[in-house]
Structure 1
């Protein structure tokens, strides 16, 4: 899990550099060896990050030529204005109804897929992929293409917006036990074909995430205040003035 978090961090850093203009559209990324030195990671880690960037359609790998930054569609640029709170609220409202509808039509094969994602989460194996599969499987179980596409589009925003990626990363890794418990409650409601319980369990899951996001932002704000106060304390401290005169 540590290695996976490492390569996702490289993905986020490269995306940030792309957004910041360090690697403009059409430009070629530095070679794999150079990127490994820049980020102080192994070449396999860089390779995994490039694969993830290619999946997200941020770069194109041209065999024998290199890795090139792709032009970003206007829709993706607009999505960068979204906050993690807006996205999470939208996911809660939409996926709550998705879960309720899925409870009426989910089949045994889909329930087994959900059960397998829970096992993978409990074993700390490819947790992010298991989480994504969990939510997409529920959407598929609605038998409603519009709902499936809605969940897919929301997930794309969750994995393509650098600010949302950073906010989610600050909370998701700290509450894996709670996430597993909440997913199991959603699964139990779906298995019982209880639409109201499925909706409530999904709302509970996202409500906790929203509160965790607020806590994380408050913590960062307090840390920033402490940092600024520390700088001012060093600047205005009389101890420094006294030392200069001794």
Structure 2
């Protein structure tokens, strides 16, 4: 028998595969509520964020439904005419935030050292655009992207620029979009904008330590927002 190519799988996909197989075998019947995240994490020996990413993937693919304030329930797939799938290369949203913390903490520090007035102006314009969109109850993703790109461009490193832009391309993927649909609210965006103001303050004061710390704090708080209890989803 010829050897089959090996495809490395992201952890959340491995978890989703196990849950999908159990659903297919009838371990969890249509309408059944899955165990709580903490219980699944304990049984699988993984983190709760990884379980959450797996559940979001299963929801995107039509296997389960997340009911805020109640739980995650198995759907009847026999009546579905079409199905969605998550690309095998898509990063998990919470894992992506952790990676961004590492990289963008350093790009913020570099921006404080190497940034020029035009870079600082671009950061401020991006935050102003975010604030204007948020005040209109529009998700300010474009301004958010422009802000983080302005920071990395101030570093003067083309590899880092492409890396951060790649992070943002993943930000628009179905997993992050679905997860954001539960936890991104006008209140959460106002919090993020205030965190951006702190990052700008560290950068324009030419304080790389403060800039790095402010970016780390922003990413930590972002991770906390997306990791909150489902009962807190969609609350202002």
TM-score, length of structure 1 as denominator length: 0.56
The residue number in structure 1 matching 2:112 is 103
Decide whether aligned partners of structure 1 residues 178 and 96 sit closer, same or farther in structure 2, where only a CA change above 3 A counts.
same
The residue number in structure 1 matching 2:87 is 77
State the Cα RMSD in Å: 2.6
2:201 is the alignment partner of 1:188: yes
Of the three residues 150, 156, 159, the one matched with 1:143 is 156
**5+ residue gaps in structure 1?**
1-15, 25-71, 221-246
The secondary structure found in structure 1 opposite 2:156 is: coil
The secondary structure found in structure 2 opposite 1:77 is: coil
CA distance in 2, matches of 1:182, 1:132: 14
**5+ residue gaps in structure 2?**
1-59, 62-79
The residue number in structure 2 matching 1:32 is none
The residue number in structure 2 matching 1:207 is 220
CA distance in 1, matches of 2:107, 2:230: 29
Contact persistence 1:79–1:157 (CA under 8 A): no
CA distance in 1, matches of 2:128, 2:232: 32
CA distance in 2, matches of 1:122, 1:201: 19
Decide whether aligned partners of structure 1 residues 120 and 217 sit closer, same or farther in structure 2, where only a CA change above 3 A counts.
same
Deviation at 1:83, TM superposition (A): 2.0
Higher helix share: 1
The secondary structure found in structure 2 opposite 1:193 is: coil
- State which drifts further: 203-212 or 110-119: 110-119
The residue number in structure 2 matching 1:170 is 182
Deviations 1:134-181 (A, max 9, x none): 001111111011111110111111112x11211123223241221111
TM-score, length of structure 2 as denominator length: 0.58
Deviations 1:85-111 (A, max 9, x none): 101100111111111111111111111
CA distance in 2, matches of 1:143, 1:216: 39
Deviation at 1:118, TM superposition (A): 1.7
Matched residues, number? 152
